[in-house]
Structures are given as structure tokens and as C-alpha cells.
């Protein structure tokens, strides 16, 4: 009986220890909130605060509005996502958004992203794709097509810099097809993706993708003899401005 009571007591103490955690909080005059552990404080000079991912930020007292402490809930049974400041970034989570893009398999395009979780999402878009080709007589001709591109996005790291800007780094996979137009093409790409925005302006954000791709032309204009499919490696890039729908 005594052993049972002792085990229950240890379990309850462990659960309580995991249930709450105190973090130091630094409130900046620019509206940013940094959460972590203050490792050094020199009055009227600066404060050093270490965040959950090990980053160390230094702020002068001229930048600081106030400091304090915050008790947050934690659990050994649930992994809690945090930003580089050690704070929850669920408030900064953009679930669905529409965007305008440059590049991405064409010159301009319209895109849509949906994130069922904070780290994994899907993207689809339609892009206008002009092109040049050499005809049967050796003359350069113009062509145009519409490419539909889609694929998953995986965020590997989310952080916040000293200016309070959210930064997300990850990878994206893109598959594209252009069944409409003078050239029918298929594209596959693997890219690094970088998103950034400010929490106070989380209704819009910027995204950049860069990577390697292959492009297969499986149907050419009629004045090219033979309609021989061609495959070539290309550089994939995309600049995207998204506007939140949630």
C-alpha cells in the first residue's frame, strides 16, 4: 500500500512538473514579444535572452518596453510547437491563402495554399507560360501555354528574428503539366522554400522558392518535324505574395 501511494505521489509530482513552465518575457517597443530565459541583465545597458531553439538575442534597454514572466502549460504527452523566441506561434499560423506569383513554371500565375497543420501544406497554381522554339526552317517562333502546378510544402524550421519577423524554411515538391496551348509539357521540381512575414501583418506574407527541376516537352507545335519529346534540366524559382483567407 505504501509503495502504491509513493508511486502515485511521484507520478502526480511529475505531471505537475510537466504541466507548467515559467518563461522570461521581454516586451519590445516595436511590439515584439520574446520568450525564453534571460541569461544576462546589465541595468541601463542590455539584456540577453536565450530562446527555446538555443538562439541568443541581445537588446538594449532603449529597445525594451518591459520584462516579465509567463507560466505556460507543457505536457510530456504532447509536443508543443514553438517559435525561435520560445513562444507559441499558433497565433501566427496562416491556414489558407491566395497568392500572386512570378516564375513558378511561367511568367505570372495565381496560387493557393492550404495548411492542415503548421508544418505541412499543399499548394496549387495556374501559370501563363510563353516560350520560344525553332521551327522546321530554322526560324525562331513564339508559343504560349498554361501550366497547372501542384505539390506539398514541408516546413522544417520556424523562427523569429530580432526584429520580430516570422521566418519559415522548408522544402517543396512541385509537379506541373500544361495540357492547354501550343506546347504540352510536364515538369517536376524539388525546392527550398522560404516564407517570411510580421505577426502584426499576418494577413499577408512573402514566399520564395528555388530549386532544380526537369522539363519534358511531349508535344511540340505542328511546324516542328517529328514531334520528338525532349527532356532538359532547368532551374525552378518562384516569387509569391500571399494574402490570408483565414
Looking at the chain, list the stretches that DSSP marks H as alpha helix, in order from N- to C-terminal side.
Answer: 2-19
Whole-angstrom distance between the N-terminal and C-terminal Cα of the chain? 54
Query: In Å, what is the CA distance from 229 to each residue of 27, 206, 222?
Result: 60, 36, 13
Statement to judge: residues 80 and 109 lie in one domain: no
Cell for 26?
A: 521581454
Give tens-digit pLDDT for 198-215. 776 667 889 999 999 998
- Domain residues for the domain of 40 are 2-88
- Domain identity same for 51 and 102: no
Same domain, 110 and 180: yes
Grid look-up 513554371 returns: 105
pLDDT value at residue 86: 35
**Spatial contact of 142 and 129, defined as CB atoms under 8 Å apart:** no
Say if residues 84 and 52 touch (Cβ distance below 8 Å).
yes
Instruction: Say what the pLDDT of residue 72 is.
Output: 58
**Among the residues of 43-119, which ranges form H helices?**
none
**How many domains is the chain partitioned into structurally?**
2
Q: Tens digit of pLDDT for each residue in 49-75?
A: 988 767 788 999 899 988 888 775 543
Looking at residues 83-99, what average pLDDT do you find? 57
Q: Are residues 168 and 105 in the same domain?
A: yes
How confident is residue 10, by pLDDT bands cut at 50, 70 and 90? very low
Looking at the fold, whether 78 and 154 belong to one and the same domain comes out as: no
Which of 65, 88, 111 marks a domain boundary?
88
Question: Whole-model pTM?
Answer: 0.59
Say which range, 12-26, 106-120, 183-197, has the weakest mean pLDDT: 12-26
**CATH (domain of 76):** 2.30.30.100
pLDDT score for 223: 46
Q: Is the same domain home to 64 and 129?
A: no
| SS3 (DSSP) at 87 | coil
Residues 63 and 102 in one domain: no
Amino acid at each position: 500500500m505504501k509503495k502504491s501511494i509513493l508511486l502515485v505521489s511521484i507520478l502526480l509530482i511529475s505531471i505537475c512538473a510537466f504541466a507548467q513552465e515559467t518563461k522570461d518575457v521581454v516586451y519590445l517597443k516595436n511590439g515584439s514579444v520574446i520568450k525564453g530565459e534571460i541569461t544576462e541583465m546589465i541595468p541601463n545597458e542590455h539584456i540577453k535572452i536565450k530562446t527555446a531553439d538555443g538562439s541568443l538575442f541581445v537588446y538594449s534597454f532603449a529597445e525594451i518596453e518591459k520584462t516579465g514572466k509567463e507560466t505556460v502549460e507543457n505536457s510530456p504527452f504532447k509536443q508543443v510547437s514553438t517559435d525561435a523566441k520560445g513562444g507559441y506561434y499558433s497565433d501566427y499560423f496562416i491556414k489558407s491563402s491566395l497568392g500572386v506569383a512570378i516564375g513558378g513554371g511561367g511568367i505570372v500565375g495565381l496560387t493557393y495554399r492550404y495548411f492542415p497543420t503548421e508544418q505541412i501544406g499543399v499548394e496549387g497554381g495556374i501559370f501563363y507560360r510563353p516560350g520560344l522554339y525553332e521551327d522546321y526552317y530554322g526560324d525562331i517562333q513564339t508559343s504560349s501555354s498554361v501550366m497547372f502546378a501542384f505539390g506539398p510544402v514541408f516546413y522544417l524550421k520556424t523562427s523569429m528574428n530580432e526584429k520580430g519577423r516570422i521566418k519559415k524554411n522548408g522544402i517543396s515538391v512541385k509537379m506541373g503539366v500544361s495540357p492547354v496551348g501550343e506546347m504540352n509539357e510536364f515538369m517536376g521540381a524539388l525546392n527550398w522554400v522560404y516564407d517570411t512575414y510580421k505577426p502584426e501583418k499576418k494577413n499577408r506574407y512573402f514566399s520564395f522558392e528555388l530549386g532544380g527541376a526537369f522539363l519534358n516537352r511531349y508535344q511540340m507545335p505542328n511546324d516542328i518535324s517529328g514531334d520528338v519529346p525532349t527532356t532538359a534540366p532547368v532551374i525552378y524559382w518562384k516569387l509569391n505574395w500571399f494574402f490570408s483567407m483565414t
